């Protein structure tokens, strides 16, 4: 039960960040970066967005994997037929077997190429599809193929070729723009690529700082829009704490969300054995400081969270930064 609760905390945290940071920006990526190899997205090949329900990544010393699940309610086979053909015609992939996307479903249609970054690695794209959508499993791992894969046609816009254009463009800072510093715990990902993929529309992630924080660049108008959105979301999320078992009252600073108090019963107050406590504090620690981020507080975007035991009047205070640092490291 404890393990399940901890997993729920992490999952909900990811969902929360996606909501607060402006939606699933993987849908508008032109390429997926897997170990330095750039794999074209469905959006780039089709020229139209398709809904992405989940993105899972994993890595080890010898391999990296990204699994992208698309939710598409019609013409799934047509989409994948066009995508597979582009892999073969334009991106040097070889089909490991005959493929046919004319049916209602299909599994493990695999396409392979030698890595553009390292000849000792191969990159594979495996496609599954059914009536609910399709899944791309992209794997980059050590290995070789007996297939003689030669270079494809020159494409100045394709990453890896000479005169390449970066798939992620950082706009210059103008007098109408602003750079905001965002803590690594609030940025929406564990790597620069993940943070860029999850950034809100109209926000460019310039770079990651040595301390782990990120630089978000946006117009001043967009900053104000995101400030209002983050305030609205923080209100909704903090108000939801009332529904947690054992919570008696919740109060917060409505302007900068720099302080929040949760008055609760003894069972909730005992953090060591109460999953509800961890979940409540986590969503406060992520939602409230984001308001301060868009106010321009930078690394001072911190919320003080006070827990009060209604039965004993005992209280304790933890900051959002302390909690997230302990939770995520």
Q: What is the number of helices (H) and of strands (E) in the chain?
A: 8, 15
Question: 230 and 150: one domain?
Answer: no
Q: Quick check: helix, strand or coil at residue 67?
A: strand
**Residue 11 placed within a domain:** no
What is the percent of the chain with per-residue pLDDT over 90, rounded to a whole number? 39
Q: What is the pLDDT of residue 7?
A: 39
Residue 299 has what DSSP assignment? G
Name 205's bridge partners.
216
Cβ 110 vs Cβ 147: under 8 Å: no
Q: What is the pLDDT of residue 144?
A: 61
Same domain for 259 and 162: no
Query: What was the pLDDT predicted at 208?
Result: 92
- Give the distance, in angstroms, between the CA of residue 54 and the centroid of all CA atoms in the same chain: 9
Contact 288, 303 (CB under 8 A): yes
Closest CA to 31 of 18, 44, 48, 47: 44
Strand runs labelled E in the chain: 31-34, 37-40, 52-59, 63-71, 94-95, 106-114, 121-130, 133-142, 177-182, 204-208, 214-219, 247-252, 259-264, 304-309, 315-319
Same domain, 37 and 162: yes
In this structure, is residue 18 part of a structural domain? no
- Is residue 155 in some structural domain? yes
| Residue 12 included in any domain | no
Residue 110 structural domain: 30-166
On whether both 247 and 131 belong to a single domain, the answer is no
| Segment 85-91 mean pLDDT | 92
b/e 84-112 (16+ beta carbons within 10 angstroms → b): bebbeeebbbbeeeebebeeeebeebbbb
- Domain tally, the chain: 2
CA distance 134 to 68: 8
If asked whether residues 324 and 236 sit together in one domain, one would say yes
Q: Residue 20 CB: number of other CB atoms within 10 A?
A: 23
| Cα–chain center distance at 184 | 13
pLDDT tens, 239-293? 888 888 888 999 999 989 999 999 988 888 776 556 777 788 888 998 999 999 9
More confident call, 16 vs 195: 195
Predicted pLDDT at 328: 75
Percent of the chain with pLDDT over 70: 83
Q: For the segment 27-57, what is each residue's pLDDT rounded down to a tens digit?
A: 888 999 988 899 999 999 999 989 888 888 8
Residue 241: closest CA among 210, 197, 276 = 276
* Same domain as 146, residue 54: yes
Paired residues of 109 in beta bridges: 127
Model confidence pLDDT, tens digit, residues 106-125: 888 999 998 888 888 889 99
Q: What is the dihedral of CA 178, 179, 183, 187, to 10 degrees?
A: 80
Q: Within a domain: residue 3?
A: no
Would residue 190 count as lying in a domain?
no
Listed in sequence order, the DSSP H helices in 25-92 are 42-46, 76-90
The predicted structure's pLDDT at residue 249? 92
* pLDDT recorded at residue 59: 74
In a domain, 318, yes or no: yes
5, pLDDT greater than 60: no
DSSP 158-218: STTSTTPPPSS--PPP-TTEEEEEE-TTTSSSSSHHHHHHHSPTT-EEEEE-TTS-EEEEE
The winner for highest mean pLDDT among 5-19, 156-170, 178-192 is 178-192
Q: Are residues 130 and 247 in the same domain?
A: no
CA separation for the pair 172, 251 (Å, rounded): 41
| Claim to verify: residue 274 and residue 152 sit in the same structural domain | no
For residue 16, pLDDT over 70 is answered with no
Q: Are residues 235 and 161 in the same domain?
A: no
Q: Report the alpha-carbon distance of residue 276 to residue 264 in Å, rounded.
A: 11
The reply to whether 161 and 226 lie within a common domain is: no
In a domain, 186, yes or no: no
Write down which residue in 140, 166, 192 finishes a domain: 166
């Amino acid at each position: 039960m404890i393990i399940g609760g901890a997993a729920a905390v992490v999952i909900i945290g990811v969902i929360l960040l996606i909501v607060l940071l402006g939606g699933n920006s993987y849908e508008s990526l032109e390429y997926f970066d897997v170990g330095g190899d750039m794999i074209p997205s469905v959006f780039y090949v089709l020229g139209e967005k398709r809904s992405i329900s989940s993105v899972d990544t994993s890595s080890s010393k010898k391999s990296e994997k990204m699994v992208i699940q698309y939710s598409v309610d019609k013409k799934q086979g047509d989409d994948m037929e066009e995508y597979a053909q582009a892999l073969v015609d334009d991106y040097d992939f070889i089909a490991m077997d005959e493929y046919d996307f004319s049916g209602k479903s299909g599994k493990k249609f695999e396409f392979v190429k030698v890595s553009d970054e390292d000849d000792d690695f191969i990159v594979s794209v495996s496609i599954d599809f059914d009536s609910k959508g399709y899944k791309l499993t992209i794997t980059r791992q050590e290995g070789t193929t007996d297939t003689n894969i030669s270079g494809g046609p020159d494409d100045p816009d394709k990453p890896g070729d000479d005169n390449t254009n970066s798939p992620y463009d950082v706009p210059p800072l103008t007098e109408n723009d602003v750079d905001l510093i965002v803590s690594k715990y609030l940025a929406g990902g564990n790597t620069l690529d993940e943070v860029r993929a999850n950034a809100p529309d109209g926000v460019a992630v310039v770079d990651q700082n040595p301390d782990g924080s990120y630089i978000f660049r946006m117009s001043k108008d967009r900053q104000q829009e995101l400030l209002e959105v983050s305030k609205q979301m923080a209100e909704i999320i903090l108000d939801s704490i009332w529904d947690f078992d054992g919570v008696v009252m919740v109060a917060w600073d409505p302007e900068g969300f720099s302080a929040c108090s949760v008055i609760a019963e003894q069972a909730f107050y005992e953090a060591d054995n109460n999953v509800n406590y961890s979940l409540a504090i986590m969503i406060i620690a992520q939602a409230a400081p984001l308001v301060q981020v868009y106010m321009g507080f930078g690394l001072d975007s911190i919320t003080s969270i006070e827990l009060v035991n209604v039965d004993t009047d005992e209280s304790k205070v933890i900051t959002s930064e302390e909690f997230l640092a302990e939770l995520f490291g």
